[in-house]
Structure 1
Amino acid sequence: MTRNQPQSILPSLDLRGTALWQAVAVGGFLLLAVTLGGWSVAGGTANAVLQVASVIAIAATFARSKPTPRAGGERQLLLLVGLFGALFVLQLIPLPPVLWSSLPGRRLVVEGLAALGLPLPWMPLSLAPEKTVQSGLSLLPPLAMIVMIGAFRRPVARAAVLSLIALMILSVLLGVAQVAGNEHLYFYSFTNGGSAVGFFANSNHFATLMCLTLPLAAGLVARWRGEADGAGGVSRIFAAAVLLAVVLLGLLGVTMTKSVAGVGLALLSLAGSAAIVLSGLPRSLRLGFVGGVVLVVLIAMVVAINSGIGDLTTTDLGGGDLSRMSMWHLAIKAIGDFGTVGSGFGSFPQVFHLFENPERVISVFANHAHNDLLEFVLESGLPGTVLLLAFLVWFVLRIGSVWLIDRQRDPLAQGASVAALIVLLHSLADYPLRTGAIAAVFGLCLALLARDPAGRSSDENQAATQPGRHLSA
């Protein structure tokens, strides 16, 4: 900005012209994702609306006459997503009987058809083709976020994080109303009644949204107080106050869910957020921020105790038939049977009952393994496992870049790395990525992590050279 230009308490987003409409598009898409994508069951009307919106967003973005050149990390991410999509298509290709019947895990299918006196038909690799199609369509929301954030001007990403913060605040307010006894504010018949779920069906997934929003907010605040944004003095205090408010609301939301995973992930979220924010603050503000966080945590502990923190026992890790340990044991057994080819995406419910004890089967069934790593390996086989390892290598390398390489350091990308890590860790005991809302935000995180902060887009460089304008970090 100009030397004599007065500073504003509000940091500038530099949303003008096309960037403003791009920000509206991304914010609107996040609104749809959070309000409609809270259900993990594929094929629902709300999910279908979100998927149609994703197709429109992707098509409109690629229809731009001058798309922004993509960095290496973005191209690699799109390649991984493309290969992942190709794996879904591969699982749907019909195979001749002599081929599919010889694949691992197909013996029971062959025996069942023989018992009915039916000839072996052509069949795809997937044991649940319709579910595989539905699972493939669930890739559209995160892909839409990756495509939009990669192609749009850089200030749009910060606007997206602001939109997410606003949606988190709205979700917490809705959660407060739900806990207060407004049963009509639960949007799904199968839900965690008595706990805060916001726009979700599952309180654990609501807690995940709270936890992953905090480090993104921390990254945004760190950008606000950076010299490139011209934020100093009162603006820094304003940014710190905003972050503390978001932390308080986020922790309030987590405690209202009574989620074991949410409490643990909240600690990781706070640690990552602190690492992002504290590194560049002056000593006085650093001490003030730490004091504020301590105060917020104490308040959250009081709220948690009064809201029944001692009742956080809904996560069954014991030895019951549908406990997580039991489901994981059976999933590992199924992986051994289906070997290298997998059972097909979305086929877990059909496969799981084949390995249950028929004498102890009850009316309640397992729709997921509550460990997406095991479920993914079971359904995708060796090709999917290799692809997953490739993604994890890419993820670790990108984290190393944005945290350890000076010219690659980017607070917003650092926040995205912490948020994405939270989702992946939660996936080891649940299935947050199977909701459209979390999947879309995860796509936002990956897009932010994939960008090259050392290379500025042409429109941003032009903005930096024009006098009298706020510089955009």
Structure 2
Amino acid sequence: MIRHLVVPTYLLACLLLGGASAAGYTVNLLLQLAAIPIIGWALWTLAQTGIPTAIRAPLALWALLVLIALVQLIPLPPSIWTLLPGRGSVVEGYRLLEMPLPWLPLSLAPGNSLASLLWLLPAFAIFLATVVLGAFRGRGVAIVVVAVTLVSVALGALQVVSGGSAYIYEITNYGAAVGFFANSNHNATLLLVSIPFLAALQKALLKRHRSPRNVSAIRLMISGAYAVILVGLLINASLAGIGLGVPITLVTWLVFGKQRPIFRRLALGITAIGTVAAILTIVIGPFGNNLFGKQGDQANFSRQTSFSRTLDAAGDYLPVGSGVGTFQSIYRTQEPLSTVTPFYMNHAHSDWIELLLETGLPGIALAVLFLIWWSVRARAVWGADEREPFAQAAIIAGTAIMLHSMVDYPLRTAALSAVFALCVGLVSGVRPYVRPRPASATKSGARHISI
């Protein structure tokens, strides 16, 4: 059915074209424009059928996210906005210019806030197309994720050996395997996401094809794909990618593997020990990580410096935040003049810390509500009598994205925000759309044969 190609096709477009946050504005605009008819179709369907109970909670969370951003755009009288924390410099600027204080919104960069709302369109389209339209097949979206990942590994290898060519974006990590992304860490996130989806795809294929020849071919094909992903993580050289790759692989093996009950506890122990060992190795190992390691000449652009300055700024703007999309403007006010250069920090390298700065306590409260919902749904998926493999894969993949977001900003790209929205949709418990049978087809009646 053509309907089931909507999510895989649009997801493919997001993965191929939406790999940058500070570049690729033209292709991201195309993705946003393409999202509008999908969103319109889904909203029209909701108006006709109502909101199913299963998707009310995630829809409400999406609505709250948009509401927070929209409230930040409402103009406020000077008697109100001047009382908000962090606005003293704005008041002083108008005083020096001898200009009367105008009505201003909560956001200190309303244009950027509006642009940030538009950047949500691809993710919102994927989510609505999944939970409202059912315009997907589990195998279809898994094939897209895995296929793009494998091609991205090949492209990344070409980028490494070509000496500066084969890169898609002008602003990128030259010399690193970035694939279809501008940032090598974001390519690592895609590699992590592909691991559980590949396992779910294997389970689905083996369920459909039971002949020994087909089973052997599927296992060989999947093993080759895993090998390519492993090579991709190694040549990508993202510390977070390699560190998270160990627990993600072990958890995937624990969920989709067939361990005997007697070895189940052993498998759990191996997963726990392997996870802790991987994290400690990255944190205290001699790999030059710029969060916990010794800071060198690039200290001003390290995560340690970025986290510290962003948290300081977040404290200045609590409890309401500085406004969605204002990070760059606010961060520059935290930099000492002696360290200012033509280069700048485009994001905090932590989606969670940047969320705290831009949305304050309302944004953090929304994040807590989402994590509670995610935990409840994860428990429901694992407790189901018939477990849905692609929903299980979505839980692992979505968790991987959230963990990587602690030390990077994958959700600021259309590609990975679309993948995360897909995971949220799959975790909601929805199923692909099935065309209703005509009433005449369901009626049973007596038939007579006359001779």
Among 60, 64, 75, the residue aligned to 1:83: 64
Amino acid at match of 2:413: T
Query: Contact conserved, 1:346 with 1:379, CA < 8 A, in 2?
Result: yes
Cα distance change on mapping 1:82 and 1:25 into 2, 3 Å: same
What fraction of aligned residue pairs are identical, expressed as a percent? Answer: 35
Cα distance change on mapping 1:111 and 1:342 into 2, 3 Å: same
**Whole-angstrom CA distance in 2 between matches of 1:90 and 1:43:** 28
1:28 paired to 2:6: no
Amino acid at match of 2:76: L
Query: Contact conserved, 1:38 with 1:437, CA < 8 A, in 2?
Result: yes
1:126 paired to 2:107: yes
Query: Contact conserved, 1:91 with 1:126, CA < 8 A, in 2?
Result: yes
**Whole-angstrom CA distance in 2 between matches of 1:261 and 1:448:** 25
Query: Contact conserved, 1:195 with 1:203, CA < 8 A, in 2?
Result: yes
Cα distance change on mapping 1:160 and 1:280 into 2, 3 Å: farther
Match of 2:371 in 1: 392
Query: Contact conserved, 2:178 with 2:187, CA < 8 A, in 1?
Result: yes
1:231 shift after superposition: 4.2
Amino acid at match of 1:105: G
Secondary structure in 1 aligned to 2:323?
A: coil
**Whole-angstrom CA distance in 2 between matches of 1:447 and 1:221:** 21
1:221 shift after superposition: 1.9
Match of 2:254 in 1: 275
Which piece of structure 1 moves more, 246-255 or 118-127? 246-255
Secondary structure in 1 aligned to 2:301?
A: coil
**Whole-angstrom CA distance in 2 between matches of 1:258 and 1:118:** 53
**Whole-angstrom CA distance in 2 between matches of 1:42 and 1:344:** 21
Match of 1:471 in 2: none
Secondary structure in 2 aligned to 1:381?
A: helix
Query: Contact conserved, 2:8 with 2:140, CA < 8 A, in 1?
Result: yes
Cα distance change on mapping 1:30 and 1:311 into 2, 3 Å: farther
1:96 shift after superposition: 0.8
**Whole-angstrom CA distance in 1 between matches of 2:219 and 2:111:** 49
**Whole-angstrom CA distance in 2 between matches of 1:221 and 1:66:** 37
Among 322, 326, 334, the residue aligned to 2:313: 334
1:357 shift after superposition: 2.4
Cα distance change on mapping 1:52 and 1:429 into 2, 3 Å: same
Superimposed CA distance per residue, residues 287-331 of structure 1 (whole angstroms, 9 cap, x where no aligned partner):
xxx9xxxxxxxxxxxxxxxxxxx9964745444233211221122
**Whole-angstrom CA distance in 2 between matches of 1:187 and 1:80:** 34
1:29 shift after superposition: 0.8
Secondary structure in 1 aligned to 2:398?
A: helix
Match of 2:302 in 1: 323
Cα distance change on mapping 1:275 and 1:237 into 2, 3 Å: farther
1:367 paired to 2:342: no
Output the TM-score relative to the length of structure 2: 0.84
1:225 shift after superposition: 3.2
Match of 2:33 in 1: 52
Match of 1:6 in 2: none
List alignment gaps of at least 5 residues for structure 1.
1-18, 291-309, 467-473
Amino acid at match of 2:74: I
**Whole-angstrom CA distance in 2 between matches of 1:367 and 1:435:** 13
Which piece of structure 1 moves more, 163-172 or 232-241? 232-241
Among 81, 88, 96, the residue aligned to 1:115: 96
Superimposed CA distance per residue, residues 315-374 of structure 1 (whole angstroms, 9 cap, x where no aligned partner):
454442332112211222112111111000111111112222233333332211111111
Match of 1:448 in 2: 426
**Whole-angstrom CA distance in 2 between matches of 1:196 and 1:73:** 40
1:431 shift after superposition: 0.3
Cα distance change on mapping 1:65 and 1:127 into 2, 3 Å: closer
Q: How many residues align?
A: 416
Secondary structure in 1 aligned to 2:300?
A: coil
Match of 1:266 in 2: 245
1:62 shift after superposition: 4.0
Amino acid at match of 2:331: F
1:66 shift after superposition: 10
Query: Contact conserved, 1:40 with 1:434, CA < 8 A, in 2?
Result: yes
1:146 paired to 2:127: yes
Among 419, 426, 442, the residue aligned to 2:397: 419
Query: Contact conserved, 1:331 with 1:369, CA < 8 A, in 2?
Result: yes
1:204 paired to 2:185: yes
**Whole-angstrom CA distance in 1 between matches of 2:225 and 2:133:** 26
List alignment gaps of at least 5 residues for structure 2.
268-284, 443-451
Question: Over the residues paired in the alignment, what is the CA RMSD in angstroms?
Answer: 3.0
Secondary structure in 2 aligned to 1:41?
A: coil
Output the TM-score relative to the length of structure 1: 0.80
Amino acid at match of 1:356: E
**Whole-angstrom CA distance in 1 between matches of 2:311 and 2:43:** 41
**Whole-angstrom CA distance in 2 between matches of 1:168 and 1:281:** 31
Correspondence 1:32-43 to 2 at 5 A: 32-41=13-22
Among 409, 432, 451, the residue aligned to 1:431: 409
Which piece of structure 1 moves more, 406-415 or 90-99? 406-415
1:459 shift after superposition: 4.4
Query: Contact conserved, 1:149 with 1:157, CA < 8 A, in 2?
Result: no
Which piece of structure 1 moves more, 363-372 or 39-48? 39-48
Which piece of structure 1 moves more, 203-212 or 176-185? 176-185
**Whole-angstrom CA distance in 1 between matches of 2:184 and 2:162:** 16
